[in-house]
Structure 1
Amino acid sequence: MTEDADAVPDGIEIGEFYDVLDRVERPVVTASHVARVLDCTQAEAEDALDALAGEGVERLDVSNDPVVWYPTDWSDTQERERVVVFDENREIVVDKPTQYTRARLSQFAHLTDTTGDEAYRYRIRKEDVWNAPYDHLDDLLTALREVTNERAATIEEFVESQWQRAHQFTLRTHEDGYTVLEAASDDVMGNVARQKLDDTHLRAPIEDDVSWVNEEKVAEVKRILYEAGYPVSDERSLDTGDPLDVELDLDLRPYQQEWVDWFVEREAGVLVGPPGSGKTVAAMGAMERVGGETLILVPSRDLAAQWRDELLAHTNLDPEHVGEYHGGEKRIRPVTIATYRTAGMDRHRHLFDDRKWGLVVYDEVHHLPADISRRTADLQAVHRLALSATPVREDDREEDIYTLIGPPIGTDWDALFDAGYVQEPEVEIRYVPWQDDDHRYEWASADGHERRQLAATNPAKVEEVRQLLRAHSRAKTLVFVDYLDQGERLADELNVPFVSGQTPHPRRERLFAQFRADERDTLIVSRIADEGIDLPDTELAVVASGLGGSRRQGAQRAGRTMRPEGRALMYVLATQGTEEEDHAQRRLRHLAGKGVRVRDGPAQAAAFRADSDD
């Protein structure tokens, strides 16, 4: 085909399609791109592209954008990184991105989808702009243009407007010691703050653009304005409390050092990184830099004990300097580890309010938006650091985390996989048939929770787990269950201990210690092992039930196999022909979006039984 409109035939040869890709320097094209290069009408280009569909060219509907076309064998069309900007949708698709490009994009865009090593799709949201680590708008726009190699008018207009919104309100400490809210203009104070906030939040106006804030309502003020589209900068002068000399005896990895430097400069943030990336070590590095009394909040007593052990093992802190405060022990010390629930209770709260903390660490911070836990967000500290591998919540309240604590800090999971710091897991979904027709009929006649439980506890999964343990006989393995009866049955059938919330605390600790010390290679665990508890060197995770759980739960269980060395595997068992199939695919899509390889696989037990029947 030539570029003469009169010479445009009914079809396009595949080689000519590649020529179009080269001309526009994009891995995917729309019909309008093709029409422009070939100087024909868009309708003629669409007809020609339709004729190529399935013949080495694929089509894809991209949200509200026009249909895009790309070669079936995409990887052969170029050897270098290419970027496609969908300006109206504020989306950026990058084919074969370098680690540098992914790192830059993670600063101002959200990774929404990936095909593994090939195409990565990012979307720029308002919160991405609000939390971008740049001091000036021009620096952010420069970073954007360096990635896209062009000026995207709609995206840049959106970025500029959201940047302005993020710099309208600031909390400061008045010279007389109380807290005030300052606005960028009288109009913003009058039309936004004083309209959205009432007398319980703002005690009185001081000037047209300054209001006196009720100290007890600071967290609520920040949340309300955030929800109105105006994140608040918190620049109050808070009491740092007594100094504390903390020395870390571990060397931080380069990315951990970057996390700590970023946090210390901004004094608040949410450290987001995969399990095994060393968030706890980075937090101890932050403690060393801050040098102040520290409160560490955790969701469970087990995690509190683990934090204490880590602090005593890797810092110069004396046991008398580290206390725990929860249902089993109540000691306030210069470094105190408390559970969210206990610290949020009225009868204990004054103990934490009365002490001036230099640093508050919120571990497993996705618990914070829960009603009892969020009360700890009002605790005052100069530095506020949150940790989480997966700050997502099924109630869509994860934005509360950034409102109450600070902006995200961290690196895309796949960048850490590529750098070799964390082993990328392979996740395989196994579709398990029913053991017999009686169980299938029972499931078909049930509904609601009973129906879900019958699919989750399909007895055929016992044999499936047995076969996986045989196939990986030398692997340190965790088998996850959501139902106590299923856990106990697996324990009896496989002669493996089952650890749940009903397991007495001393026995639970003993079994976990044996697993850590390589004295046991397999445990069956309930949700108690989903988060926080450090069970290093886990090589295999088998999810026997729990597919109706959250995206976060799926990531946490996959995270059990994420370590710096060794092969990482996770098998998810879904009962064939039930809602578990859909749950497995939807929940694990969150992992795929982080660069984790997720694939479908056969049911080992089914194959085993078929061989036996022969």
Structure 2
Amino acid sequence: MSDERASDVTGEPQQADDAAAEADGEPSDDEQFSIADFHDASQEAGRPVLTAAAVARAHEISQDAAREALESLQSRDELERLSVEADPVVWYPSELEDLTDRERVVVFPKRREIVVDRPDQFTRAQLSQFAHLADGNGEQGYRYVVRPEDVWQAPHDSFDDLARTMRQALGQRSDALEDWVESQWDRAHQFRLTTHEDGYTVLEAKSPEVMGNVARQKLDEEHVHAPISETEDWVREGSEAAIKRILYEAGYPVQDHRELEAGEDLQIDLEVSLRAYQRTWVDRFADAGEGVFVGPPGSGKTVAAMGAMAHVGGETLVLVPSRDLARQWAQTIEEYTSLEAHQIGQYHGGQKHVRPVTIATYQIAGMDRHRSLFDDREWGLVVFDECQHVPSDVYRRSTHLQSRHRLGLSASPIREDNRQTEIFTLVGPPIGTDWEALFDAGFVAEPELEIRYVPWGDEEQRNAYASADGQERYRIAAKNRGKVDEVRYLLSAHPDSKALVFVDYLEQGEDLAAALDVPFLSGETRHHERRRLLEEFRRDERDLLIVSRVGDEGIDLPTADLAIVASGLGGSRRQGTQRAGRTMRPAGGALVYVLATRGTREEDFARKQLQHLGRKGMTIREQTVERGDGGGSGGAGGGGDDDGEENDGNGETE
């Protein structure tokens, strides 16, 4: 029988099975069958209405025992029974009769899952402090999972404070879940890095046992010089990040209490009001001293980062993937803070100025001939924009820069190489708000996403696909010439929209640009021409651009209300997020169409790479395009992690 017993609801301790009852397959008197056990059986069967036989099978007890347990729940008004003509008696939760407008929270402590139907904003805010929103489809409820990393980064000073938040969110006390959370809380406070009075770094453990059985088993002379005591090791300079990563992966996150450089004081006043959730982000960053702001494009992560800069009040280094993004940061800082132009510098291929606030590209900051300029200056804060790049070999060197405060920004801190945990060990724990809450509050518009399955444009490409294999098949499907007609159709169906058409291949972008007689913005576009095109788009002087991967990150297109992804589905989930995110702005009414060649691997790629957006709360539809219907049949409406060259940051193919 499930471990999720009556204690989930009542808070009463669970007792061991009675041996005799266990032998008979019957629940003992002390082991009362609970509504949580019924929900377990319901989930296993995939339906909310069950027979006694179904409950018996799920919990491996006799049908008579199951019937008695169900009748007991009925006597407590937790179940209803219904005799169905020509069928057995069926049972269902009494709550099903009154779920129209009522919040309902069901806890599955054994799986550490929480399913919430119709949660209010308070409940969701509380849940976000210790649980991960795994499925945000509001029509089917919200499914939260409590992972170790969610407990490790919970914004609380003590476990008692965290437990209080859990009980407020769940509306009940779940001893089994709280016991597990407390064990993870303890793990997160076993190790810390401190600064010795002589200036070197020390790894401290809470006990000799955990130092000997964990740290000294995992670390070697590459990481530490020698023991100082039973609970202290002398850390080799420069190995701090590796130690944090190794112990994090072992299940023991390290608290970083080093006395790092604070930099020169710099008065920064924010001249714009933060939204409530942005203020929460900044407060959580202030408590931890580090973190990663995670939110959808358009949620104001950059402005929130400037709130963090104002809190720190020190000289700041901002690292970005491209010089275009560096210019945008410089303009935004000057616009939204009290800093003046002479206090803001940019350091990249176009210009090289180190000032109290400096925006540099990752590639430049990691180069040996430039590193000393950044190493020699004491920074109060280092900001890692688009920090999902940080684990890559190209960008990783920039994380060796030391600062008392570190802040990352990302719409989607996921990597196809599964190195995303390194983001949080190198920069800081995730800090964010669930996307659905921002959609509901109107801060960010939820775009309508539609996958459109497009037929082949000609038999030559279809035959080439059939005879190809591997990556070549994907390339042929992505460049299907039938997509040109589909793009024309969609643009004609939305004549008043400002549109972006995304492509993964330069040849395809050039073909579309020629067919539509519009510019193609790619990594080969000269920087001054790129800026001109983007400014024309922002000023409504241009309503259509074809964009390569250079548009996935680092280019702000705030007025786009239509995005067509003509190719790019074989890549990262992050790429799908970025492309959909180009339309996520408060104005609303945004449409995203993703084109996939029908009957090819692109179909599976499209579903897989956009699936995580569905879990974040977006509605995703699918439409099959029939040949000969004018290019479409109505409807409305993600390559691997590429860490590209400094001058465009795109990593385009061809």
Q: Equivalent residue of 1:312, what SS?
A: helix
Partner letter of residue 407 of structure 2?
L
Q: Equivalent residue of 2:630, what SS?
A: helix
Whether 2:236 is the aligned partner of 1:193: answer no
Whether 2:449 is the aligned partner of 1:431: answer no
Q: TM-score, normalised by structure 2?
A: 0.83
Residue of structure 1 aligned with 2:241, choices 209, 212, 219: 219
Aligned to 2:18: none
Aligned to 1:384: 406
C-alpha distance in structure 2 between counterparts of 1:521 and 1:536, whole Å: 12
Q: CA deviation at 1:145?
A: 2.7
Any conservation in 2 of the 1:345–1:372 contact (CA below 8 Å)?
A: no
C-alpha distance in structure 1 between counterparts of 2:205 and 2:131, whole Å: 27
* Deviation string, structure 1 residues 124-172 (Cα, Å, up to 9, x no partner): 1111111111111122222223333344344223212111110000111
Aligned to 1:251: 273
Partner letter of residue 512 of structure 2?
L
Higher deviation after alignment, 175-184 or 140-149:
140-149
Q: CA deviation at 1:30?
A: 6.9
Judging changes above 3 Å, is the alpha-carbon distance between structure 1 residues 353 and 584 closer, same or farther for their aligned structure 2 residues? same
Aligned to 1:9: none
Whether 2:270 is the aligned partner of 1:232: answer no
Partner letter of residue 481 of structure 2?
P
Aligned to 1:267: 289
Higher deviation after alignment, 203-212 or 110-119:
110-119
In structure 1, list runs of 5 or more residues that go unmatched: 1-16, 59-67
Q: Equivalent residue of 2:110, what SS?
A: helix
Any conservation in 1 of the 2:626–2:632 contact (CA below 8 Å)?
A: no
Residue of structure 1 aligned with 2:526, choices 504, 509, 512: 504
Any conservation in 2 of the 1:432–1:606 contact (CA below 8 Å)?
A: no
Mapping 1:49-60, distance limit 5 Å: none
* Deviation string, structure 1 residues 30-49 (Cα, Å, up to 9, x no partner): 7679679x995449999x99
Aligned to 1:395: 417
Partner letter of residue 285 of structure 1?
G
Whether 2:639 is the aligned partner of 1:591: answer no
Residue of structure 1 aligned with 2:368, choices 346, 356, 360: 346
Partner letter of residue 548 of structure 2?
S
Residue of structure 2 aligned with 1:412, choices 434, 437, 453: 434
Aligned to 2:143: 121
Q: TM-score, normalised by structure 1?
A: 0.88
Provide the aligned length of Structure 1 versus Structure 2. 574
Any conservation in 1 of the 2:315–2:380 contact (CA below 8 Å)?
A: yes
Judging changes above 3 Å, is the alpha-carbon distance between structure 1 residues 444 and 473 closer, same or farther for their aligned structure 2 residues? same
C-alpha distance in structure 1 between counterparts of 2:199 and 2:244, whole Å: 19
Residue of structure 1 aligned with 2:309, choices 280, 284, 287: 287
Residue of structure 1 aligned with 2:181, choices 143, 148, 159: 159
Aligned to 1:322: 344
Judging changes above 3 Å, is the alpha-carbon distance between structure 1 residues 174 and 532 closer, same or farther for their aligned structure 2 residues? same
Aligned to 2:298: 276
Q: Equivalent residue of 2:563, what SS?
A: strand
Whether 2:533 is the aligned partner of 1:549: answer no
Q: CA deviation at 1:313?
A: 2.0
C-alpha distance in structure 2 between counterparts of 1:75 and 1:534, whole Å: 48
Any conservation in 1 of the 2:536–2:542 contact (CA below 8 Å)?
A: yes
Higher deviation after alignment, 526-535 or 168-177:
168-177
Any conservation in 2 of the 1:116–1:597 contact (CA below 8 Å)?
A: no
Q: CA deviation at 1:175?
A: 2.1
Whether 2:519 is the aligned partner of 1:493: answer no
* Deviation string, structure 1 residues 548-600 (Cα, Å, up to 9, x no partner): 01111101111101001131110001111111111111111110010011111
Q: Equivalent residue of 2:416, what SS?
A: coil
Any conservation in 1 of the 2:447–2:588 contact (CA below 8 Å)?
A: no
Judging changes above 3 Å, is the alpha-carbon distance between structure 1 residues 417 and 40 closer, same or farther for their aligned structure 2 residues? farther
In structure 2, list runs of 5 or more residues that go unmatched: 1-34, 71-79, 634-654
C-alpha distance in structure 2 between counterparts of 1:537 and 1:609, whole Å: 26
C-alpha distance in structure 1 between counterparts of 2:97 and 2:565, whole Å: 34
Q: CA deviation at 1:328?
A: 2.2
Q: Equivalent residue of 1:191, what SS?
A: helix
Any conservation in 2 of the 1:241–1:355 contact (CA below 8 Å)?
A: yes
Mapping 1:172-187, distance limit 5 Å: 172-187=194-209
Q: Percent identity?
A: 59
Whether 2:171 is the aligned partner of 1:149: answer yes
Any conservation in 2 of the 1:412–1:594 contact (CA below 8 Å)?
A: yes
Q: Equivalent residue of 2:258, what SS?
A: coil
Partner letter of residue 415 of structure 1?
A
Any conservation in 2 of the 1:295–1:361 contact (CA below 8 Å)?
A: yes
Judging changes above 3 Å, is the alpha-carbon distance between structure 1 residues 75 and 275 closer, same or farther for their aligned structure 2 residues? farther
Partner letter of residue 397 of structure 1?
R
Q: CA deviation at 1:606?
A: 4.9
C-alpha distance in structure 1 between counterparts of 2:616 and 2:488, whole Å: 30
Any conservation in 2 of the 1:267–1:382 contact (CA below 8 Å)?
A: yes
C-alpha distance in structure 1 between counterparts of 2:50 and 2:239, whole Å: 51
Q: Equivalent residue of 2:510, what SS?
A: helix
Aligned to 2:496: 474
Any conservation in 2 of the 1:290–1:359 contact (CA below 8 Å)?
A: yes
Residue of structure 2 aligned with 1:574, choices 581, 596, 599: 596
Judging changes above 3 Å, is the alpha-carbon distance between structure 1 residues 189 and 486 closer, same or farther for their aligned structure 2 residues? same
Residue of structure 1 aligned with 2:392, choices 366, 370, 373: 370
Q: CA deviation at 1:604?
A: 7.5
Aligned to 2:325: 303
Q: CA deviation at 1:268?
A: 0.4
C-alpha distance in structure 2 between counterparts of 1:374 and 1:609, whole Å: 45
Q: Equivalent residue of 1:422, what SS?
A: coil
Any conservation in 2 of the 1:28–1:84 contact (CA below 8 Å)?
A: no
Partner letter of residue 192 of structure 1?
V
C-alpha distance in structure 2 between counterparts of 1:505 and 1:407, whole Å: 35
* Deviation string, structure 1 residues 169-224 (Cα, Å, up to 9, x no partner): 01111222221111101111122112211123212222211122122111111111
C-alpha distance in structure 1 between counterparts of 2:112 and 2:619, whole Å: 26
Judging changes above 3 Å, is the alpha-carbon distance between structure 1 residues 212 and 75 closer, same or farther for their aligned structure 2 residues? farther
Judging changes above 3 Å, is the alpha-carbon distance between structure 1 residues 609 and 204 closer, same or farther for their aligned structure 2 residues? closer
C-alpha distance in structure 2 between counterparts of 1:69 and 1:217, whole Å: 57
Q: Equivalent residue of 1:358, what SS?
A: strand
C-alpha distance in structure 2 between counterparts of 1:594 and 1:454, whole Å: 31
Judging changes above 3 Å, is the alpha-carbon distance between structure 1 residues 162 and 389 closer, same or farther for their aligned structure 2 residues? same
Partner letter of residue 530 of structure 1?
D
Q: CA deviation at 1:75?
A: 10
Aligned to 2:355: 333
C-alpha distance in structure 1 between counterparts of 2:180 and 2:532, whole Å: 55
Judging changes above 3 Å, is the alpha-carbon distance between structure 1 residues 187 and 69 closer, same or farther for their aligned structure 2 residues? same
Any conservation in 1 of the 2:625–2:631 contact (CA below 8 Å)?
A: no
C-alpha distance in structure 1 between counterparts of 2:506 and 2:495, whole Å: 25
Whether 2:105 is the aligned partner of 1:105: answer no
C-alpha distance in structure 2 between counterparts of 1:416 and 1:105, whole Å: 15
Mapping 1:61-80, distance limit 5 Å: 77-80=99-102
Q: Equivalent residue of 1:107, what SS?
A: coil
Any conservation in 2 of the 1:364–1:388 contact (CA below 8 Å)?
A: yes
C-alpha distance in structure 2 between counterparts of 1:552 and 1:75, whole Å: 41
Judging changes above 3 Å, is the alpha-carbon distance between structure 1 residues 606 and 100 closer, same or farther for their aligned structure 2 residues? farther
Any conservation in 2 of the 1:34–1:45 contact (CA below 8 Å)?
A: no
Q: CA deviation at 1:327?
A: 2.1
Any conservation in 2 of the 1:358–1:381 contact (CA below 8 Å)?
A: yes
Aligned to 1:522: 544
